[in-house]
Structure 1
């Protein structure tokens, strides 16, 4: 008997071991493949922090899953890894960006800014060499990135390079030249003249450096010229000289950033990414006009988050109480029907509701014979946002409250009736306190969610309506939508300042959540 069991368990154990080994090989092989693919790219783009994350994660995977030891860590690692990648690292990057001037005109290094300034000053002269131009890409024809392949018609020499780079000579075996133009290049896709013409605005801005004093620029769909730089950089004195006017630009600080500035105070538009310390936070707390607009947005954010939380809870709780009564027939049908707003994707609901609020053709005004300017008046726009958010949010509260009500013992209600309590007293003094024990933490999370509910504002009202002189905050803008407008506003993106506001917003949200959680501790004594 024991021999038979041994014979049966032997193959089974071997099969399990083989499966475990194959699974381990597949996991480790996949991790190694991803690392091999990402590491060269991260080194190329100098993304050192993400390089460290990839290397450390790969080493951790091999250390944990290549042996039978560290069993608890095998289960803890995946959650910890994704927590770090999707939560902790973005927070660290946001805080880091808050101490910089990162934004339009402040994206690259100082060397890249100097290259852009000098290359953009290229002027064609009478003896400028003309090259046969071919545009190629390693990506898509419409998005790039683009590289230029140039053929000298006199010597048939082939040069190539990407925007801002110094031209290089192509090896004969790497390119194919037909009728004086490059028609094929290893690793590149050649754009047709029609594709070049369609994307000419981006392609015509490309510049290749030849030397400190000359560069190549695009001239038409099929040609490029080598011109002279009128802006020349002197590394010894760290200055840029305009050879056409004789003006010399030195590095000076204007505001919170450094620029190349001449003797008359005129600065060159191009600057570079710099560490500005607490300048963004100083600007935030000293700009009275901005503080006033942010203060108004903060007040409305509290009203919006608190009102949405309260209204969704009241409507959801009322419907849950109603359908929790055994005397109601067809409860399953009604509950399914009430969940429909929750089943529809939020962005679709918001876009549909924005049409409902149209003053002239909207469903609400036409059905009720009204002429309310829902989205044009600040007060009515706020009402519209709260109504829409309530409609979208009450099914969630309905589900939560229904589950909480069904977990409350019916004996408690029966005891309350025996003691002489009526329905209202039973609901307010027994059912509601017991329900809040489990629902209160969800109310806190609902408040925090609506505090940063960007979609509800952006898709419904786009933050409007905007009053006269208000260019940052509209009538329904909450803090997060104001931050979005600062980061991607019409006057140019300012990610550094927007990150500083986001850090303050993060602190405020955390403080409010902590206060709310502390207030809900009183419910822990309810039994």
Structure 2
């Protein structure tokens, strides 16, 4: 009995602690090991390119992560740092890079440094001359046979040595790394994939365009099995810092302000280098008549498109929401489901469908109404068409948010206004609509910003058409964003620096309009709060 009482009165043993801490510690070690591996992988290219500033940032960031997560302190920072790093990597860095590009001449022909421009000029001027050295050629790649970077494996007939060359230059392979057949062609090489005849034929254009720089010129292909070393017709002369043409003696002197070699007659060589140009890209929008006029027209149309798309979808969505807000309407769930269908469809697919519906010859719009309108052939009709498409695609979103906002308004307010003798229209205009605008104005601002940069709406329907005969780069339905895209990636030559300047201009416009709108929204909240 005494022993039983002692067991009942003895203090209960504390529960054993869980071992979740050990598993969490193991996960931390694994993640830190992965971080170290990624940092080590990223460090070698930075060292090779002598990017010491980037290497210092990498080392500091890695050390900071180890200090933060290896210890048990700074718990809030452990949750904030990952989000901050992603913010810097995916938001801040692209913005800063775009801004820095806007102050340069970065474009086709001005991508690399001056040395790369010299190599490109000399390589492009290579021609075959009597006595040019010939080589047995094997085309290989270091990646996929269909898309990987091409490499020329050439065998010197005099010495039998094998060299590998690409656009960066020619390097001799160590003995034993390549196997050569009786004809002198390489049949296998460690680290390279030899292209078959069919694979090489499929990439014949790339093989013909590839030139491997050498001290005296460049190696080019002659078919798929032979290559020759041509002589450069233009060479760089360090004494005058110019490009000299051997045949005529003409020179093009380096102009560091333009990043190009310029002749005495003003001729510029196509291959240049990347330099800072200050505000030249921004002033070009105003001072260049060939750009300022179309740019201003595009800006005006862009504002009209954004306002019409946002305002039209809001009005139509609000009307539908008001019509289905009354409890006396039967089948409201079915109607709401049907009205939301356009919002549930993939927009890119619907834009392509609408493009075909507006087709002049077999489009549904012309056939259904017996019309013969070239919708995308005229300026006014094309603009009306894209606004109608946006109206159909955008009103379900406004219908949904307006329905939710209407349900959040207390019914006592509208009942009180009616008791005071207000009509339905007066109650809507004086009570319901102001309260709706307080809730929906931020959404309208974001919708305006989205439509101002609505790339898909134009690119997938009209692609900016119609175009004037004297300006194929700027169409009547182009928005600033599609105009910028055509500048940056157009077939006439990419102008990344100028396109970045236009992007900054777009950002400033949207930011100013949004700031003014949000200020007015706060005033409305103060009035109706």
Q: TM-score range by the shorter chain?
A: over 0.9
Q: How does 1:124-163 map to 2 (within 5 A)?
A: 124-163=128-167
Alpha-carbon shift at residue 510 of structure 1 (Å) = 0.9
Alpha-carbon shift at residue 363 of structure 1 (Å) = 0.8
For 1:115 and 1:294, the matched residues in 2 are separated by: 37
Match of 1:6? 14
Counterparts in 2 of 1:206 and 1:472: CA distance versus 1, 3 Å: closer
Match of 1:312? 313
In structure 2, runs of 5+ residues without a counterpart are: 1-7
CA displacement, residues 321-364 of structure 1 (integer Å, 9 cap, x when unaligned): 22222222332222222222112121111111000111121111
Match of 1:245? 248
Alpha-carbon shift at residue 5 of structure 1 (Å) = 6.0
Match of 2:226? 223
Match of 1:181? 185
Match of 1:423? 424
Counterparts in 2 of 1:336 and 1:290: CA distance versus 1, 3 Å: same
SS in 2 for 1:370: coil
Residue of structure 2 aligned with 1:192, choices 192, 196, 206: 196
SS in 1 for 2:261: strand
SS in 2 for 1:471: strand
SS in 2 for 1:472: strand
For 1:125 and 1:370, the matched residues in 2 are separated by: 65
For 2:47 and 2:439, the matched residues in 1 are separated by: 49
Q: TM-score, normalised by structure 2?
A: 0.92
In structure 1, runs of 5+ residues without a counterpart are: none
Confirm or deny: 8 A CA contact 1:353 1:388 kept in the other structure: yes
Alpha-carbon shift at residue 428 of structure 1 (Å) = 2.0
SS in 2 for 1:339: helix
Counterparts in 2 of 1:383 and 1:215: CA distance versus 1, 3 Å: closer
2:332 equivalent to 1:328: no
Alpha-carbon shift at residue 373 of structure 1 (Å) = 2.0
Deviates more, 1:172-181 or 1:113-122: 172-181
Q: How does 1:79-478 map to 2 (within 5 A)?
A: 79-165=83-169, 167-179=170-182, 180-211=184-215, 213-252=216-255, 257-478=258-479
Q: How does 1:46-85 map to 2 (within 5 A)?
A: 55=59, 57-85=61-89
Counterparts in 2 of 1:215 and 1:478: CA distance versus 1, 3 Å: closer
Instruction: Give the number of equivalent residue pairs.
Output: 519
CA displacement, residues 160-210 of structure 1 (integer Å, 9 cap, x when unaligned): 122131x22111232232332222222222211222222122122222233
CA displacement, residues 9-35 of structure 1 (integer Å, 9 cap, x when unaligned): 42x2x2x20231132223323333333
For 1:507 and 1:476, the matched residues in 2 are separated by: 22
For 1:336 and 1:196, the matched residues in 2 are separated by: 56
For 2:220 and 2:471, the matched residues in 1 are separated by: 42
Counterparts in 2 of 1:447 and 1:44: CA distance versus 1, 3 Å: farther
Counterparts in 2 of 1:184 and 1:56: CA distance versus 1, 3 Å: farther
Q: TM-score, normalised by structure 1?
A: 0.92
Confirm or deny: 8 A CA contact 1:101 1:275 kept in the other structure: yes
| Aligned-CA RMSD value | 2.3
CA displacement, residues 120-168 of structure 1 (integer Å, 9 cap, x when unaligned): 2223233222111112212223333111111123321111122131x22
SS in 1 for 2:142: strand
For 1:190 and 1:53, the matched residues in 2 are separated by: 40
For 2:65 and 2:255, the matched residues in 1 are separated by: 49
